[in-house]
Amino acid sequence: MTGGTGFVGGHLLQMAVEAGQSIRALTRKDRPPVDGIQWVSGRLSDPASLEELAQGASTIIHIAGAIRAADRAGFAAPNIEGTRHMIAAARDAGIRRFIHISSLAAREPDLSDYGWSKAESETVVQESGLDWTIIRPPAVYGPGDGETLDLFAMAKRGLVILPPQGRTSLIHVRDLCALILAAIEAETAIDATYEPDDDTTNGLSHVAFAEALGRAVEKSVRTVSMPAPLVRLGARLDGLFRGDDAKLTPDRARYFCHPDWVANPALKPPETLWSPQIPHESGLADTARWYLDQRWLT
């Protein structure tokens, strides 16, 4: 597995070990021993470490990649070339099964450099000749997620600033991980592209999502939908004040202003393979409680 030290990967490692799986996981720095997990030191830019990672495995689960970068080249190196390196390592190790975690952003490659890089990574996977599955999650949330924390914090303060009007699908991280694990040995998942969600028909409007966040933190919220030019201005200001730590980059601003990030029902995984178990109302509330317990949210 790549990406095992991240938000989604961390949950997947835990669930895989609980299911009795033995995992080899890539890491950039030393990690404490964990039963069921063998850490392999390396990175996507180091083919030798990926070859070591793949040795003795039956399946590659490729999660790692960049969600923020300074320019197109910064996305291409981890998201495209990193995927190409991982596929080469799988081939060299005789591994056929390859599960690739992409993004709904791949549907709009001309919208953002991130989306372009994820679309290109999908092409690399589809042309690999391996038994691949591509999973395009919508907005993923859950305990431990630093990306949605700012939204919960705004809701706690009673004012949620939103991008222009649009709709989005959601998925709890544990539901996403359950799908990944289910796909490992499912022949029906081979050569399939899935867009999973929490079964909310047509997703949530941005305002409805903000109101759901308010209920999760037990706060009545006001919402302000910002026009696209102001969102882009906010990205420039975020970069000015937070530098490399900025979460709202110009590339992400273009992504956020798109009106339709709803999972395509035609690409929904079959119920015989997987179905979501965590509705967003209870999932958001559980996530808010975790943030509060961990003092991430005050």
HEC states along 126-159? HCCCCEEEEECCCEEECCCCCCCHHHHHHHHHCE
pLDDT at 98: 98
Q: What is the mean pLDDT of the chain?
A: 93
For the cut 80, the answer to whether the pLDDT of residue 234 exceeds it is no
The pLDDT of 33-50, averaged and rounded, is 94
Q: Dihedral of CA 149/154/155/161: which sign?
A: negative
Q: What is the mean pLDDT of residues 157-167?
A: 91
Domain 1-136 homologous superfamily, CATH: NAD(P)-binding Rossmann-like Domain (3.40.50.720)
User: Residue 141's pLDDT is what?
Assistant: 98
- Does 225 have pLDDT greater than 90? no
User: Would you state the pLDDT for residue 298?
Assistant: 86
Predicted pLDDT of residue 96: 97
What does the pLDDT read at residue 237? Answer: 66
Cα 138 from Cα 168, distance rounded (Å):
7
Give the pLDDT confidence score for residue 235 in this predicted structure: 63
Residue 243: which pLDDT band, with cuts at 50, 70 and 90?
Answer: low
Answer whether residue 251 shows pLDDT above 80. no
pLDDT (tens digit per residue) in 111-128: 999 999 999 999 999 999
Burial class of residue 163 in the structure, from the number of CB atoms within 10 Å of its CB (0-12 exposed, 13-18 middle, 19+ buried): buried
Q: What residues does each domain of the chain span? A: 1-136
Give the pLDDT band of residue 256 (cuts 50, 70, 90). confident
Cβ atoms 136, 148 nearer than 8 A: no
Least confident of 169-178, 226-235, 270-279: 226-235
* pLDDT grade for 244, boundaries at 50, 70 and 90: low
CA pair distance 209, 167, nearest whole angstrom: 9
Residue 249 predicted with pLDDT over 90? no
**Which pLDDT does position 255 carry in this prediction?**
81
Tens digits of per-residue pLDDT, 48-72?
999 999 999 999 999 999 998 889 9
What number is the average pLDDT over the span 183-189? 96
pLDDT of residue 90: 98
User: pTM for this one?
Assistant: 0.94
Distance CA 73, CA 69 (A): 8
Q: Cα separation of 191 and 180, whole Å?
A: 14
The whole-number pLDDT of residue 254 equals 81
Token pair, residue 163, equals 């991008």
> Are the beta carbons of 27 and 44 closer than 8 angstroms?
no
Whether the per-residue pLDDT at 193 is higher than 90: the answer is: yes
Whether residue 10 contacts residue 31, with contact meaning beta carbons closer than 8 Å, is answered with no
**Closest CA relative to residue 61, chosen from 114, 118, 135:** 135
pLDDT confidence band for 171 (50 / 70 / 90): very high
Residue type for position 201: T
Helix axes 149-157, 206-216, angle to 10 degrees: 70
Report d(CA 25, CA 281) in Å as an integer.
32
The continuous run of DSSP H or E covering 162 comes out as strand 159-162
